[in-house]
């Protein structure tokens, strides 16, 4: 495995782990606020939109480079 391949795998696993941790933080924020289902939905839409955009950008770039 070359250094470039290792760096690519490390980035995918690292960013994936950070996204999973951020989802846990959003879930925990909704649980502690006791705002109900609407609060969960609002938090996941508002805070999760940035993560979705990052994932979509990665998929689009990989798709266009084919």
Residue with tokens 């606020």: 33
Q: What would the DSSP string read from start to end of 3-62? A: HHHHHHHHHHHHHHHHHHHHHHHHHHHHHHHT--HHHHHHHHHHHHHHHHHHHHHHHHHH
Residue 24: pLDDT band (50, 70, 90) is very high
Cα separation, 48 vs 63, in Å, equals 22
- Across the chain, what does the average pLDDT equal? 86
- pLDDT score at 60: 92
Does 19 score more than 90 pLDDT? no
* Cβ-based neighbours of 26, under 8 Å, separated by 6 or more: 43, 44, 47, 48
Is pLDDT above 90 for 66? no
């Amino acid at each position: 495995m070359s250094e470039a391949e290792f760096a690519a795998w490390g980035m995918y696993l690292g960013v994936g782990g950070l996204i999973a941790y951020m989802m846990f933080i959003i879930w925990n924020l909704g649980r502690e606020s006791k705002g109900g289902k609407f609060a969960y939905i609002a938090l996941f839409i508002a805070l999760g939109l940035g993560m979705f955009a990052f994932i979509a950008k990665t998929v689009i770039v990989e798709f266009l480079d084919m």
